Amino acid sequence: PNIKSVKFAKNKGLVKTGLYIIIVTYNNRWATLMSVLKQLDIAAPDAVAIIVNNGSDLNHQPVWANEVSLPLHFIHSETNKGSAWAFGQGVKLAIEEGADILLLLDDDNFVEDKSISTLLDAWQELKSRHSGLLGLMSVRKDRTYLKNVANGSPVDLNFPGQNEFLG
């Protein structure tokens, strides 16, 4: 239909970390996305980035594809189908490619230089102590309610009523 996927894989060999970074962009925020990609080029040089363009203008695609060394995938939808759909497309592609670790970002989520290595170290630590499916969640400091729920606080107290994320 109106969805297409393009791969801009650089000749870097195997992805050492198994980390796939899925970034959803919309509303023609190409300059911000480019800044995020350049930052990830430094913070996560062994990762693969999947850009899901959720209804934005396609014209800038070749520019940023050539400005970073990360292997890139580009999934394009002519219309904005919502964040859940967009992240789902990125997750599906990452799993099809054999990803071990997924990091989901919006196009304006900047990562600090050491945050990816800290995440990967925490992941390895958890894997050494637990078997089965694992998940880590990194949140902004002002989102204490998310941490409260993760630490066992009742969901109803932290998320009263319905919302677009929890139904």
- Tens-level pLDDT at each residue, the chain (167 residues): 444 455 544 434 445 678 899 999 888 788 888 888 888 888 888 889 999 988 887 655 556 667 888 888 888 888 899 999 999 999 999 999 888 888 999 888 888 878 888 888 888 888 888 877 777 777 777 878 888 888 888 887 877 666 555 54
C-beta contacts of 150-153 below 8 A and 24+ residues apart: none
Q: How far apart are CA 125 and CA 148, in angstroms?
A: 22
H or E element in which residue 65 lies: helix 61-67
* 87 contacts: CB under 8 Å, gap ≥ 6: 22, 24, 52, 104
pLDDT for position 6: 54
* Cβ atoms of residues 145 and 156 within 8 Å: no
Helix 30-43 / helix 115-129 crossing angle, nearest 10 deg: 60
